[in-house]
Amino acid sequence: MAYINGIGVISSQDLSRGFPETLQEYRVDFLPCLPPDYKRFINPIAARRMSRLIRMGITSARLALADAGVEMPEAIITGTGLGSVEETEKLLMDMDSGNTLLNPTPFIQSTYNTISSQIAINLKCHHYNSTYVHRSFSFESAFMDALMQIGEGMADNALAGGIDEMTMMHLDIMRKVGHWKQAPASNITLLQDSTPGALAGEGAAFFVLGKEPSASTYCKVEGIDMFHRDSPEGLGEQEIRSFLQSRGYRPDDIDLLVLGYNGDSCFDGIYDRFAGDLFSSATTTWFKHLSGEYYTASAMGLWLGAFMLKNGRIPSAVLLRGDAATPAHRVLVYNQYRGEYHSLFLLSAI
Amino acid sequence: MPVRVFVTGLGIISGIGKDLNEHVTSLYHSRPGISDIRFLDTHLKGEIPVSEVKCSDEELFGMTGVSSHEAYSRNSLLGIIAAREAWDHAKLGTRKKRRTGLISATTVGGMDQCEKYYQEFLKGDSYNDFIEIYDCADSTEKIARQLGITGFRTTISTACSSAANAILFGARLIRDGYLDRVVAGGTESLTIFHMNGFNALKILDKQPCRPFDANRSGITLGEGAAYIIIESEEAAREDAPEFIAELAGYGNACEAFHQTASSPDGQGAWLAMKKALETAGIEPGQIDYINAHGTGTDNNDLSEGIAIQRLFGEHIPPVSSTKPFTGHTTSAAGSTEAILSILSLKHQMIWPNLNFRDPMPELSFTPVKELITDVPVNYVMSNSFGFGGNDTSLIFKKVKQE
């Protein structure tokens, strides 16, 4: 297995000095990311030509590397559900206006692998480079690939991240098919809002996975798995038990859960059942009031789990059930997207 | 010893054929699939040639058995046809059930429908079935559903090397013990979106593409889908109907040079090919044929050619690009050309690089001009290089018939 030795996160909250005392409240259609301070990592001339998503990607990747004290990762792997939505829209709108002499930049930047390859260009990194684009398995696939790179002995340090952006146009389109709430909602009181649809969001979280622990280590990664359903349904008890068992654990060994509650009254019940059935004694936390919902939001959940293990504390702003005072040793992060895409990450304190 | 990975099924649809047999015939008779645009509704019709699958959407629906009232993109239909052919070729419907995954590659996703309905998505209040199928995962999910794959699935998008990376990741999942069998490949239909995008980059040839020619003038786009079934040695030995080839090596590297241009020394290509040789445990001299990426752009062919010279030195094996047959099927190119490479092993033939006339002054080699038959081909290297410098090279090995 591997260790999380560095993390870089961009979200709606300022996490640059640890977990904030009070969370910033938004009453919005979607939770926007705070603009990152990308000037530390990207030269301004290059930055001007980059889409917002690419700047977010490079910045969070560089923050993760700086956090881990690693200069050159031996793999760069990105998961993104939608890539540069804004650039895709620009090209579509340009085409719809009947323009036949298009600007090539949006086309290039709309290509999904642009994030991983721009990170490689920024670092001059010639190693393994890949991009996964499978809805809420995108980050999971990238993370699994990074774990495999380390397991295969191909990399001592691998960079893997999950990143997506939201635009008003995309929000409108997906709201029509019921993915998002019909009216603006508060991120802070999201779970008291019993309406259908999630609070949409966006974000970037990159992780440096290391073969060995280091001074900056957050936690040990014990395992990851993905489960697909053709129609919305929770995970079966046996599936969860066997995921834990194959790593040498039982449900009682889990003392902290990080769950992907997103305020959608149609699907949040899946988390209630998950936490209630097998893990009734575990402390329960959530994270989508920091990030909103998007295809790669589970990366934010993984960040929160790793953060709590490293710092030995549970911020009260993320606590749903149980005791914030007892430090956790073993964290299970569970995320699902509309009951179809489920993922589990198992982390242990070092 | 790492687990050996064998190819036990092939399925392909492209501009030169609707199934594997039609591909062998077209390759053998040097019949390219490139012609004027017939099916895609674009202002580039008559101006820029492409290699289309010679079927309307309705005909593709007919071939898949899916009702044309369902929201299926052309991309998904092509993928289903090719993946099902591979599935049946390996007789997976009747063999012992094992842990089976699907790794599919695409970039355009359901864009062919999205671009038709985009204004309706924005303005309409009513539900449009096509809204939910525009993303990359959609075609992968549709293929999984049609084949009855319930386990692991994911989608890779690394531009023009996507499908090669799908095969590479599939092989690693088998070697690392996560899966026994993988359906790996890619699908990409032509769309106005990427036709326009490539046209905006001014890299589409107005004539059929001429890879490795001194007067080459860009890409000819194509569409298609290609999937291979790969299995662990243990799974294949138990009940596979045929060992078609062995996936001996793979390498993935990044140019880290420029978003759309390849480096003058071909560093990414060189690294990818070198890593592939290392995982295969063979010397450059053992490669009998290189199925090159060879897009026909100034930049790629020079960079790839230099990389081949650097790696193979004085002993460059026969090289050809088969893109003058199939066009550049972008995200499906890696698996399309993997299958053409495997057919080279199977038939002991080397496919010609059509449309080649004048050697490039910068290179010491010229590509294969005519079909070569009755030639020993034991190892073949298949190159796929993408925008952003995502370079991948695969090596397939002939299987001794036992």
Chain B residues 37-76 within an 8 A CB cutoff of chain A: 43
Look up the CATH architecture of domain A2-210. Answer: 3-Layer(aba) Sandwich (3.40)
Under an 8 A CB cutoff, do B131 and A176 touch? yes
Matching fold, domains B5-239 and B249-397: yes
Instruction: Determine the topology of domain B249-397 in CATH.
Output: Peroxisomal Thiolase; Chain A, domain 1 (3.40.47)
Helix (H) or strand (E) holding A191: none
Across the range A217-230, mean pLDDT stands at: 97
3-state secondary structure of A197: coil
Hey, what CATH class is A219-348 in?
alpha beta
Q: Please tell me which residue in B55, B136, B160, B209 is annotated as part of the active site.
A: B160
The residue in chain A having the minimum alpha-carbon distance to the alpha carbon of residue B161 is A130
Matching fold, domains A2-210 and A219-348: yes
Q: Poorest-confidence range of A95-99, A219-223, A250-254, B370-374? A: A95-99
Enter the tokens of residue A289. Answer: 């009031």
Residues with Cβ within 8 Å of B123's Cβ and at least 6 positions away in sequence, in order, are: none
Distance from CA of B393 to the nearest CA of A (A): 12
Helix (H) or strand (E) holding A311: helix A298-311
Under an 8 A CB cutoff, do B140 and A134 touch? yes
The residue in chain A having the minimum alpha-carbon distance to the alpha carbon of residue B129 is A177
A132 touches chain B (CB under 8 A): yes
Measured between CB atoms, which of A91, A92, A230 is closest to B145? A230
Residue A85 CA to residue B146 CA, distance in Å, equals: 29
For chain A, the domains span 2-210, 219-348
Measured between CB atoms, which of A107, A131, A176 is closest to B157? A131
3-state secondary structure of A209: strand
Of the candidates B320, B330, B347, the one whose C-alpha atom is nearest the C-alpha of residue B78 is B330
Enter the tokens of residue B171. Answer: 């092989």
First to last CA, chain A: 13
Residue A263 CA to residue A286 CA, distance in Å, equals: 11
Under an 8 A CB cutoff, do B193 and A152 touch? no
Measured between CB atoms, which of A91, A141, A169 is closest to B154? A141
Query: What percent of chain A has pLDDT above 70?
Result: 99
B251 touches chain A (CB under 8 A): no
Helices (H), A16-103: 44-48, 52-68, 85-96
pTM of the full predicted structure?
0.98
For chain B, the domains span 5-239, 249-397
Under an 8 A CB cutoff, do A111 and B388 touch? yes
Under an 8 A CB cutoff, do A103 and B159 touch? no
pLDDT tens profile A184-215: 999 999 999 889 999 999 999 999 999 999 99
Instruction: Determine the topology of domain B5-239 in CATH.
Output: Peroxisomal Thiolase; Chain A, domain 1 (3.40.47)
Size of interface A-B (CB pairs under 8 A): 170
Question: In this predicted structure, what is the pLDDT of residue A30?
Answer: 97
Q: Which residue reads 């956090």 in tokens?
A: A67
3-state helix, strand, coil in chain B (%, to 5): 35, 20, 45
- Backbone φ and ψ of A16, nearest 5°: -70, -25
Under an 8 A CB cutoff, do B260 and A101 touch? no
3-state secondary structure of B394: strand
CB B133 within 8 Å of CB B73: yes
Does the annotation count B89 as an active-site position? Answer: no
Under an 8 A CB cutoff, do B197 and A151 touch? no
Of the candidates A90, A96, A107, A57, the one whose C-alpha atom is nearest the C-alpha of residue A167 is A90
Does the annotation count B315 as an active-site position? Answer: no
B278 touches chain A (CB under 8 A): no
Question: In this predicted structure, what is the pLDDT of residue B129?
Answer: 75
Helix (H) or strand (E) holding B13: strand B5-14
Question: In this predicted structure, what is the pLDDT of residue B119?
Answer: 78
Residue among A134, A164, A179 with most chain B CBs within 10 A, to mutate:
A134
- ipTM of predicted complex: 0.97
Under an 8 A CB cutoff, do A92 and B197 touch? no
pLDDT in tens, chain B (402 residues): 789 999 999 999 999 999 999 999 999 999 999 999 999 999 999 999 999 999 999 999 999 999 999 999 999 999 999 999 999 999 999 999 999 999 999 998 777 788 877 777 777 766 677 777 889 999 999 999 999 999 999 999 999 999 999 999 999 999 999 999 999 999 999 999 889 999 999 999 999 999 999 999 999 999 999 999 999 999 999 999 999 999 999 999 999 998 888 899 999 999 999 999 999 999 999 999 999 999 999 999 999 999 999 999 999 999 999 999 999 999 999 999 999 999 999 999 999 999 999 999 999 999 999 999 999 999 999 999 998 899 999 999 999 865
Under an 8 A CB cutoff, do B172 and A148 touch? yes
A228 touches chain B (CB under 8 A): yes
Across the range A78-84, mean pLDDT stands at: 95
Q: Tell me the sheet residues that pair with B204.
A: B219
Measured between CB atoms, which of B122, B132, B158 is closest to A172? B122
Does the annotation count B347 as an active-site position? Answer: no
Across the range A327-348, mean pLDDT stands at: 97
Give me the DSSP letters along B175-239.
HTTS-SEEEEEEEE---HHHHHHHHHTT-B-SSS--TT-TT---B-BB-EEEEEEEEEHHHHHHH
